Amino acid sequence: MTSDRPPTAKHASLSFPLPHILLVTLNRPRELNCINSQGHAELDAIWRWMDENPALRVGVLTGAGKAFCAGADLKEWLSTTTTTTTNTTPQTHKPKDTPTTPPTGFGGLSRRTGKKPIILAVNGLCLGGGSEMAVNADLVIASERAYFGFPEVARGVVAWAGALPRLVRTVGRQRALEMVLTGRKVSAAEALRWGLVNEVVPMDAEGEPERDVVHRALEVAGRIAANSPDAVMVSRAGVNLGWEGTGADEATVKLMEDWMDKLNAGENIKEGLRAFVEKRHPKWLDSKL
């Protein structure tokens, strides 16, 4: 049985601004919301808790201050690398593990499969691990002032958290290589053209957002949460089968084998069909899938 109380988090704050929606805010603004090992563990626990909490249907992630996420905590990463120097041999580096991430990847997102959708509200710079989360997020709503990038090559490190093979599926090989080999920052407008984000929230004449990016992400989350939670999860699973490289026919068969009986046995499919016939809005139940 999942606890109604969310996991404790030191580096993020949690709120519930709308029914069935969890808002998580990275809360290290002085560090541009870079994520350390403790932060990764906290976020992984939060997303797992959300997936198992029947009352929650959609998650939204944003950052406090002017940054969304500047990536990994490089000071911590440096501390995981030992350097040995002798009088007769050149300096050698023996890399240990990168700052510890869970199997679900950077921020518990960059390699996450999960059950429920997560929307990123990218309010500012989104670099390194921040962009790794964006590549594997379900939807990305970005401020016009946001920008994305993989500057790892300029620091001698690599984006290990799952974005490299996934990025090419979203933006294409040449664009992916341009991003990861040059480290160039990509504007929100360019990311929109490339398909890396769903929507860009514009600025007004004074350079302020016309509509806060979190507000817009919550609007989209609300539209998702208004649908059958069962159908949302199963539809998402079907898309993700293709995302992970399964052939279309094979994925369709697997989706039906894994989910059709469970969906048909639930109350929400009956409620949705009944509400259509009766010309009323459906009253969804918390999902038991």
Instruction: Report domain extents, the chain.
Output: 12-225, 229-277
Q: Is 250 a catalytic residue?
A: no
132 assigned to active site: yes
β partners of residue 241: none
The C-alpha R_g of the chain, in whole angstroms, comes to 20
Tens digit of each residue's pLDDT (9 = 90 or more) over 221-269: 999 999 999 999 999 999 999 988 889 999 999 999 999 999 999 999 9
3-state secondary structure of 41: helix
Give tens-digit pLDDT for 65-106: 999 999 887 677 666 665 433 443 444 443 444 557 899 999
Return the H-helix or E-strand segment holding 237: helix 229-243
Q: How far is CA 109 from the centre of its chain?
A: 5
Give the pLDDT confidence of 104-147 residue by residue, as tens digits. Answer: 999 999 999 999 999 999 999 999 999 999 999 999 999 999 99
DSSP secondary structure letter of residue 151:
G
Instruction: Give yes or no: 72 in active site.
Output: yes
- The angle formed by the CA atoms of residues 208, 212 and 214, to the nearest 5 degrees, is 145
pLDDT at 74: 66
Model pTM? Answer: 0.90
Answer whether residue 208 shows pLDDT above 90: no
Beta bridge partners of 119: 60, 139
**Active-site option among 108, 128, 129, 162:** 129
Q: Are 70 and 131 in contact (CB under 8 A)?
A: no
Which residue is catalytic, options 9, 67, 70, 72? 72
CATH fold of 12-225 reads 2-enoyl-CoA Hydratase; Chain A, domain 1 (3.90.226)
Average pLDDT rounded to a whole number, residues 202-212: 70
Per annotation, catalytic residue among 42, 108, 121, 132 = 132
